[in-house]
Amino acid sequence: MDLSVRPKHLENEFFYKHDLDLIEEQHQNDLRLAAEREEKALHDLHWMKCPACGHDLKEASYDGLKVQRCHDCSGVFLPADMVEKLELKESSQSFLTTLHKLLVGESVS
């Protein structure tokens, strides 16, 4: 096959579409990286910060139950998985008792 007789417009069309695909792929990659950077920046900004006052949270442990407590406003943050563990472990009344003890900082027995 003699490639010299191949129509030039087909080659131009091929490379035009190929370039468009590469540009779109790069654009999608840039969007993904920007979203990852924004997610990391938000994580770094809010990690272990009190949602009520913005001060640092300190991890506290009560009989193996880990919570985050704000030493400025005394707010307590319970991760969702901790609440689920407490609900599964405790009856509803003892769950509330345990939760109250966690909130006021008493040792949970």
Cβ of residue 74: shortest distance to Zn ion, in angstroms? 7
- Stretch of 7-15, 27-35, 38-46, 65-73 contacting Zn ion, by CB under 5 A: 65-73
Q: Considering only CA atoms, which of 57, 56, 51 is closest in space to residue 69?
A: 57
Distance from chain centroid for Cα 70: 21
Name the residue nearer to Zn ion (CB basis): 42 or 53. Answer: 53
- Stretch of 5-13, 27-35, 52-60, 82-90 contacting Zn ion, by CB under 5 A: 52-60
**Close Cβ partners of 109 (under 8 Å, ≥ 6 residues apart):** 63
